[in-house]
Structure 1
């Protein structure tokens, strides 16, 4: 109950959680990144398989890509559900990402306590065992992380329809940053309702554009036939922001 992990968040949500967050009066954004995907990797490449399952196919000019879209509750300061005594005011309905923290959702990222917001006493010997030999042993957290990943995989194609509904088609190059699309609450709520009604509908691979502030990245993308959106235009947009790592 230190509340350190409940401030200044970019909190990843499933689509059902996003709907609930909006109903509670919150706002959500879409964080978009894309991975060049000219050929399918070997099935034995588990990291590539993970990326494929949580993304959807698209094009950027002549370049096949996979687009990863994260639906995120983003806010500065305390979470709107945080009470003055640092208890969660929506504890029973809190998102899976809150239930998982400080564990990692990505199975290929190691949990490093020093990189987390938790105070040092949370890891003291007299506390319940959370990690053992670098391995997560808290069973409730392990189950929550697996549920999060399954939701993430399931929602990937639906997020493609959401972007189509919202007219979104600009992403960063993965590992360079994110393109953040800020959508008005009513617009997002209506779009989620429409894709829910059209649950069986598919979307043809859309043509996406990359944003980068790196000149060499931009030149390489253009050389391989991708479409590149002007970084200056993204930077001046009211509804779109480029966040570089």
Structure 2
């Protein structure tokens, strides 16, 4: 599905780099990447986040279909993450991003800035600080990690020069991209069940919705039941 713009376009790292950075994060203990943000989630991760008592926001954006861009890798990437929706006489691509609220901090972060669900943390948390999009290059200066997290040793390990990506990290990135594609239609369906039918235009921002936890959980269950019936 991602032929032509695979993981190799992401800045390279090795498994040793991830382990090293994780150790540095543990020592620094700032928890910066767990505060003041929204954490993109897969559908299964969304249900788990809600079950733990966390809030989930929904960001929605749309863009037109452009047959002339059928060979454009970036256009194809975003189209694969979208569901086709009719708006008047037009057919639009709509992307719905479900994101756990870490405002002002992740509800799974304890007083020592330690993740209490580390073994079950979301994919994006496992991948950070790497980029999931194949069209964004890792830039340490744009990350929330404090300077002490980017020692010369850590930086040398994290930003590799051999053009390869570890199989472990590659699998995580690919799993996240795959979930984006597989969940796309159901996420938009859930938005429709919730009455969230207004979207922003891609590149101009997002339409933001803040559903109640129970409301969203019920919509996810209804959507899953409908999907199951269609398969029978």
Q: TM-score, normalised by structure 1?
A: 0.76
Identify unmatched segments of 5+ residues in structure 1: 203-245
In the alignment, is residue 15 of structure 1 matched against residue 36 of structure 2?
A: no
Aligned length: 201
Q: What is residue 206 of structure 2 aligned with on the other side?
A: 178
Native 8 Å contact 1:38 1:65 kept in 2: no
- Helix, strand or coil for the counterpart of 1:159? helix
- What stretches of structure 1 move > 4 A for 4+ residues in a row? none
Identify unmatched segments of 5+ residues in structure 2: 1-28
- Helix, strand or coil for the counterpart of 1:49? helix
Task: State how far apart, in whole Å, the 1-side matches of 2:106 and 2:53 are.
Answer: 12
Seen in structure 2, the aligned counterparts of structure 1 residues 135 and 87 have a Cα distance that, compared at 3 Å, is farther
Seen in structure 2, the aligned counterparts of structure 1 residues 48 and 162 have a Cα distance that, compared at 3 Å, is same
Native 8 Å contact 2:34 2:102 kept in 1: no
Task: State how far apart, in whole Å, the 1-side matches of 2:194 and 2:163 are.
Answer: 40
- Helix, strand or coil for the counterpart of 2:152? coil
Q: What is residue 74 of structure 2 aligned with on the other side?
A: 47
Structure with bigger helix share is 2
Give the CA RMSD over aligned residues: 2.0
Task: State how far apart, in whole Å, the 1-side matches of 2:83 and 2:229 are.
Answer: 15
Seen in structure 2, the aligned counterparts of structure 1 residues 134 and 106 have a Cα distance that, compared at 3 Å, is farther
Native 8 Å contact 2:38 2:100 kept in 1: yes
**TM-superposition CA deviations, 1:190-218 (whole Å, max 9, x none):** 1111111122467xxxxxxxxxxxxxxxx
